[in-house]
Structure 1
Amino acid sequence: MQNNWAKEVRRVLWSFVVFTALGLAVGRVWLFVAIAGTGYAIWNLWQLKRIHSWLVKTDEADPPESIGFWGDICDKIYYLQKQQKTIQAKLEADVAYLRGSFASLSDAVVMVDHDGSIDWCNGAAMRLLGLHFPKDHGQHIQYLFRDPEFVGFFESQSYEDGIEVRAPNNPDKMLKVQVSSFGTGNRLIFARDVTEIYALEQMRRDFVSNVSHELRTPLTVITGYIDNLHMVIDQLPALEKPLAQMQQQALRMERLLKDLIDLSRLETLPSEMHKTRISLTTMSSMVVDEAKANCEAKKLQRNITLDIPHNDDFFLLGQETEVHSALLNLVVNACKYSLDDGNIEVSCWHNDDGVWFSVKDDGVGIDPIQIPRLTERFYRVDQSRSTDSGGTGLGLAIVKRILIRHEAELLIESAYGKGSTFTCHFPSHRLVVG
């Protein structure tokens, strides 16, 4: 390319010299210079026309023969064309392979472009979503899948968690929908039929709810008889220990039923956006006072402190009873599983990322491998320790469900022998300052 440019410059200079000499010979220098310039311009325009004709006529594979830098330009364009065709062929092969793989899936797969228009879908999408391809090619996905929850999810651009919605062509079917972004604004929509799983989960919830309510009446009767027997315990000294054990287990059963009913209610109620302004400073103080009273009643020696930076008063948008239950659960848990005379640090603050409430203890700690399972129902790190503490195994499951309803998350840090830290993080749009 550099050599051709140099040759072209020399060619122009020599032409100028020759035509200038001829012009001097006949006394018409500017005429001959004008002729030379015009001829050179016509020659370049002709080369441009040839290249343009070659580019327009896509059936011509080889570039037009040319000399100088025009030849270099043609060769470079030809090279880029071949490179583009190679890349395009590979891309088409990859897309064909991808579509072939998706076509065999039992889950629905829909490819949409940056505008949300359908580019392709597999057979399962036609069956589960009622799409008709290629008839629906170019149609916006929201015109065909009008569920408000799906529309909000699709437009949110936040696809970390999927959603469960009714199938647009069959309300009896439940679909788990997930979206993944790729390329420049393109998206893949995956939909799986979870009707059976949803039905089983609903059966489980109904069973837990019904059993919890059905057991309350007989448990109340049993507790009543135990209380009556306690009134005449002086006449039956041999029953004092068995009655105390019965009463202890009855109280534990009451707590278990209460937690089951609370968890069932949290799972079945809609997760509407709560708008109550909660002073987290005031609530944190209340929670700490209640935890201290609970420790005194159970004769537990715990040092509970509350840290609120700058005594800042701020508000959280949420359901007051639920938030109070979650925060108290965390502090009471720390009291249960801390050592005698243990230290428990409670703190709350806010920043640009949202609202934070943290409970830190210097207890026995938890093996990190068990942390992911802590919020499961009835999961116990240590069976004997939970029995001694009278826990139901549902506390953290309730906390997690409450936080989910408030768009929050529970962060757990712990190391065996070094204590644990449980932190609630609420999103910034639920924060009100002042």
Structure 2
Amino acid sequence: MLLLYTIGIKIYNLIIWFFSFFNTKAALFISGRKQIFKQIAEKINPNDRNIWFHFASLGEFEQGRPVLEKIKELHPEKKIIITFFSPSGYEIRKNYALADGIFYLPLDGRTNAKRFIELINPEMAIFTKYEFWYYYFKALKTNNIPLYIISGIFRKEQVFFRFYGGFYRKILKNVTHFFVQNDESSSLLRSIGLNNVTLSGDTRFDRVYENAIQPKNLPLIESFCEDAKVMVCGSTWPDDEKLLSVLPDKYPNWKFIIAPHEIDERHLQSIENQFSVSSLRYSVLSHTSVNPHDGDSDKKVQILIIDNIGILSALYQYGQIAYIGGGFGAGIHNTLEAAAFGLPVIFGPKFNKFQEAKGLIKINAAKSVSSVNELIEAFEDFKSNDKASAAAKKYVFDKKGATESILKKINF
């Protein structure tokens, strides 16, 4: 099985290399790892008190960020080393101020893992939510370096809990301690003999709560919204946008902010073409001295399209309802950022892997929709529903505290 795992990693690398000739993300995945060990050796002192944080992508970074920042606050002498697997995480956070080194994670392999661990010599490693790499985990164990999984979540259909998952269960045995989000995850791990588990909750609640009580001020967004009620549509994909296109005509007194998951020009143009009412791009708003509400024609602008990355979490402070994209594809994106501001949430049908989405539905602070009629029905229910708003905010407030639980267990 180990041989198949190793071959699979090499095949994956070849596939990414092939796509790198015509796909930007794949190209960044390959180019970012060129001379990676030289980069690490030049920047990292293995004799420092290094702590290694690994994140699959941007979402996991935001999830693990409260733990990272609290460690840095309590122990500023420690050096923080961050690795990302995905370009969408690395490219956005490569200049993160609290890190002493930010790199792409070299692909898993015996030589790569050994060399990487020797170069950074961490006193501990912290992985957020998932990504289980055989050689990296084994190298950490061999060198007696504690490995923690935080905000972990496990499901019974995962390979670890199948009769044929012995190899993958061996990977988990290298973990020093699991901090998991729910009872199901704890029970599943214990069912395969892993009792080093703490039900700590999800650190995302700490992150989104902090963001909601100290949001970044966005004057241009505030100017666009004025006194209108606003629906913020975050991380949308084409199927989401097609569904949403009916709302501006039906609700002319509302404004809509659309922050798509992908911001390439082709996608932005498709959004503009999808809606029959006037729209404005955030970059245009940012580079003009003209107030979008001056003049009769400008008053008709109902839609603001966010064509940059990094401000979505702050946008929700200006909304009354949120729509979260991804529910017609691989799965919905972050619902908690919106809920923390007291926004009831609407999303597509693929949400079953997301505990917080199910939790918000249970307390009537979220609805899943699959059609235009269901979207309108959900919108009607939420557009003046103070109870849903209060429930969303309370849901986040009641579940914060995972960061403190984790740090106490690992003696920080």
TM-score of the aligned structures, taking structure 2 as reference length: 0.24
TM-score of the aligned structures, taking structure 1 as reference length: 0.23
- Report which of the two structures shows the higher radius of gyration computed on alpha carbons: 1
Structure with the larger helix share: 1
Q: Which has the higher contact order (CA 8 A, sep 6+)?
A: 2
